[in-house]
A and B are shown apart, each in its own frame.
Chain A
């Protein structure tokens, strides 16, 4: 067990865990913030996506020992960011969610896309969102919501 100091959604948090513990489980079970989801554990589905130092990162495969002082932002905190809020609002306005389990990860990835490409093309959307699984299949509405958020922001 090792103690780690983490920056999570702008707050300093301290956890005492095995060094191999993925960030996902630190967030969910040590810090009790459960918006970031476990879908596969091997970074294949994206449900665990957070922002690590501004980079969309799949927290299920990143051991807490490799985080360092890189700030972490989760779905609970992304709403404080104007792009994050625009994406969440677009998601609600366009009625994107169905079961909703994948949507934290979809939103975090979409925010990363829009920060890099404020006016993404269809190809940009397919490439950046290409690794996020939605088993319900809400992809059509995800595309629409990203375009809507982009229009709101620009």
Chain B
């Protein structure tokens, strides 16, 4: 055997081994990633939930995810003007429907926000109690994954809701108020919110333990 051939052979083996190592390492990484996704640490899941909760209970989200018989508005969550009310399906009442004013897009020149299918979240998805106190992280979490309450959404469904539901997406494009000022936005970006939801779902939607109410 010539020296060249043994060099080629050695290179080939080295390359093969390198590839094998790389593949092994990759698969370990992937395994780790998958493991992390499928079996993330509970702490990660709960941390992710904290992020989700921070958005859900952001004041202007509670404006529609409300316990009251009427929507609220503004960062200070005052009662929506003109006596608009929930109505039997969360869409107002005849003569005074949500869509009497709210169209499919924001109307910045007149200060009215809009998104397709403007209406209130069902009472089962309220994030405050009847004394106008924001529900605890545990309570909101439990409600969110309760299919009897969330209109039958499974985990992918929840993720999709956070990703695509026009009224949810609207929160990050809330438009201008009648006085021309910009409405505030939730504490995370939409991508961060979706990402946190994804991590929470991947962790098996863990919920924090209840604590006695303050």
Contact = CB atoms under 8 A, between A and B. Distances in A.
The reply, when asked whether chain A contacts chain B directly with Cβ atoms under 8 A, is: yes
Interface of A: 20, 22, 41-46, 49, 55-58, 60-63, 66, 109-110, 112-113, 115-117, 124, 127-132
Contact of A110 (B84, B85, B95, B111): B95
Contact of B101 (A20, A57, A128): A57
A127 B109 contact: no
Most buried by B among A117, A129, A130: A130
23 contacts: A22-B107, A42-B110, A42-B112, A42-B178, A43-B100, A44-B81, A55-B97, A57-B99, A61-B110, A63-B103, A63-B110, A66-B105, A112-B94, A112-B95, A113-B93, A115-B94, A116-B95, A117-B94, A127-B85, A127-B96, A128-B96, A130-B84, A131-B95
B129 interface: no
Given A41-B178, A131-B83, 13 more contacts: A41-B110, A42-B111, A57-B100, A58-B101, A61-B101, A61-B107, A61-B110, A61-B111, A63-B110, A109-B95, A109-B96, A128-B95, A131-B95
B105 A116 contact: no
Contact of B96 (A22, A60, A115, A130): A130
Contacts of B87: 127
A131 B107 contact: no
B8 interface: no
Contacts of B99: 55, 57
A58 B96 CA distance: 9
B75 interface: no
A113 B87 CA distance: 13
B131 to A, nearest CB: 24
Contact of A61 (B94, B97, B112): B112
B101 A56 contact: no
B82 interface: yes
A62 B102 CA distance: 8
Given A62-B103, A63-B107, A66-B107, A44 B82 contact: yes
